[in-house]
Chains A and B, each alone.
Chain A
């Protein structure tokens, strides 16, 4: 399973839970991109895969994972190697995306937490 982990490091990171360290819980919740790749049997994954070739969504596919966003974006696919605590080596594939800027997200307004739109600034990473 660890091979799977490192064979898809970026995908593992996508499941990250914001709890410790430098991670913050946004007061204005960013909204996922309404579109994305439809992956069977999962369904709609709110993210495109920019790039050129049959496995990508095209050069100008939106690299962002958040909608209502204006700011800086950086992303890239990588290859690498990792070594674990027993000396075993693994191939690493990553897709890490960084966003910094202004966004319009959801803030709790109504008694049960019902949302309204709010503007905020933030830095986000998808790993």
Chain B
């Protein structure tokens, strides 16, 4: 569901979401309310909760490992492992049931960061703003053979630049 931008606060290391009286339907079954479960009766309820996610350690760069649109690996991002903790309250609209509680990640998987997928993901676009702090990819081979930046510029200056239309006959050397 869409919520106002100000329901989420993002700092350098945390993301906090705070929502009050969100309408939900308790379907008692997963997945609920769609597909084979369409029409399954549920209990209208409201939920309020606060959750804070906190980054841990260093980020990892995620680059698309598949171009298959159905693959879980078709996205790019910069992600940190993350812990989270929160509290919630819930009540049925008819007043027959209510509850409140707390939860935390307890060592379970969690992550946060920046990502892009779908139409924002382009071939040869793996290194983008989200990845801009990543060190350049250098292999043992190109360390030895790649010209330094200053040398590369000199090489570039010495290469003849072909501008405009060039008569084909100038490129043909007759014997």
The answer to whether A and B assemble together is yes
Instruction: List A residues at the B interface (Cβ < 8 Å).
Output: 1-2, 4-6, 8-9, 11-26, 30-31, 33-35, 39, 41-43, 45, 48, 50-52, 56-58, 60-64, 67-85, 90, 92, 94, 96, 98, 100, 102, 104, 121-127
Contact B105 A77 (CB under 8 A): yes
**Bound: A71/B47 CA distance, A:** 26
Instruction: List B residues at the A interface (Cβ < 8 Å).
Output: 1-5, 7-8, 10, 15, 17, 19-28, 30-33, 35-37, 42, 44, 46-47, 49, 51, 53, 62, 65, 68-75, 77, 79, 82-86, 88, 97-106, 108-120
Contact pick for A15, options B8, B24, B70, B102, CB 8 Å:
B24
Question: Which residue of chain B is the closest to A94 with respect to CB atoms?
Answer: B103
Contact A85 B99 (CB under 8 A): yes
A101 nearest CB across to chain B (Å): 8
Contact A16 B15 (CB under 8 A): no
With A8-B30, A76-B82, A100-B8 already in contact, the answer to whether A17 and B99 are too (CB < 8 A) is: no
Residue of A21, A48, A92 with highest tally of chain B CB at under 10 A: A21
**Bound: A16/B90 CA distance, A:** 12
In the A-B complex, the 10 residue pairs with the closest CB atoms: A76-B110, A80-B103, A82-B101, A68-B118, A35-B70, A61-B72, A67-B118, A74-B112, A16-B24, A21-B21
